[in-house]
Amino acid sequence: MASRIARKITKAVLSREQMDGDGARVYRSIGSHALRNLDPFLMLDEFDVRAPGGFPDHPHRGFETVTYMLDGEFLHEDFKGHKGRIGPGDLQWMSAAKGIVHAEIPANNSRAHGLQLWINLSSADKLSEPNYQEYPKEQVLHVSPEEGIDIKVIAGESYGVQSPVMTRTPTMFIDVKLKKGKTMEQVIPKNYAGFIYTVAGTALFGGDQHKSEAHHTLVLSENGGTYIPVESTSDDCHFVVIAGQPIKEPIVQHGPFVMNTQQEIYQAFADYQHGRNGFEGAPEWTSSIRDRWSS
Ligand code: CO
């Protein structure tokens, strides 16, 4: 029988609140000073926004943004007229690739709470056509291997359930809720790098049973382990497992543009400013939702 190796937790970092966008509160995980980036991931924010806060008109190039709502509702609108509303449990997987300009704003006066993950694209995909994959709550696959274990398969696979989401950069994103005393094992490909982000409650994570509370980023060992064991120690245990295949290319990031070279960053700014190479119409565009909450 082949030996099974459990992933361990090699680093644990508590996220502190910070402000981003326009008066929007976020707990930054990956992408903070303590955790610069974790190839292929550039950033994970747990956002907790109330109007008039939000993320008014801004561009992206060179990567994908994944927005997964936990509570409340967000409106979004982009410069090509694509718009909508995402509510609790809804998923928006946006491949900005060569260029998206959009706004993300709370839909009402309630708390808008969720996760936004930035996944890098390889040089071959950075200037692809933008693409959306949108899954309302009812279409996000879930699996409950036993009572007290509830898993949503945002990307990748868990307990034999495979998400239909296409990931240009091979990625898994698993949302887990456990009742106290429940144990689960998440299978992970050997070559994936990743982390766990804890949203609520307490549990023991990984082969060393690392004890963690909420708002922590737990970096997984890269020992080629094939599974992650978790045992919940509270009734409200909620965390996500995010892992992917490292791209292993140089990363040059300037705010919302993530490319391979400084030259490509200058190009991104120039394209955005002059409305070309994917940013056609960007200079003239303003969203209809950006001033929703200003009086
Ligand atoms: Co954005």
The pTM for the full model equals: 0.96
What is the average pLDDT across 18-28?
Answer: 88
Ligand 1 centroid to residue 96 C-alpha, Å: 9
Q: Residue 273: how many CB atoms within 10 A of its CB?
A: 12
Ligand 1 centroid to residue 101 C-alpha, Å: 8
pLDDT above 90 covers a percentage of the chain that reads 88
- pLDDT, one tens digit per residue, over 169-215 is 999 999 999 999 999 999 999 999 999 999 999 999 999 999 999 99
83 confidence band (pLDDT: 50, 70, 90): very high
Ligand 1 centroid to residue 292 C-alpha, Å: 17
- pLDDT, one tens digit per residue, over 211-249 is 999 999 999 999 789 999 999 999 999 999 999 999 999
What is the average pLDDT across 267-290?
Answer: 96
156 confidence band (pLDDT: 50, 70, 90): very high
Ligand 1 centroid to residue 239 C-alpha, Å: 23
Q: Is residue 292 scored above 90 in pLDDT?
A: no
- pLDDT, one tens digit per residue, over 87-146 is 999 999 999 999 999 999 999 989 999 999 999 999 999 999 999 999 999 999 999 999
CATH code for 9-244?
2.60.120.10
Cα(242)–Cα(227) distance, rounded to whole angstroms? 13
2 confidence band (pLDDT: 50, 70, 90): low
Ligand 1 centroid to residue 186 C-alpha, Å: 29
Strand-pair partners of 229: 185
Ligand 1 centroid to residue 257 C-alpha, Å: 11
Ligand 1 centroid to residue 234 C-alpha, Å: 34
Ligand 1 centroid to residue 258 C-alpha, Å: 13
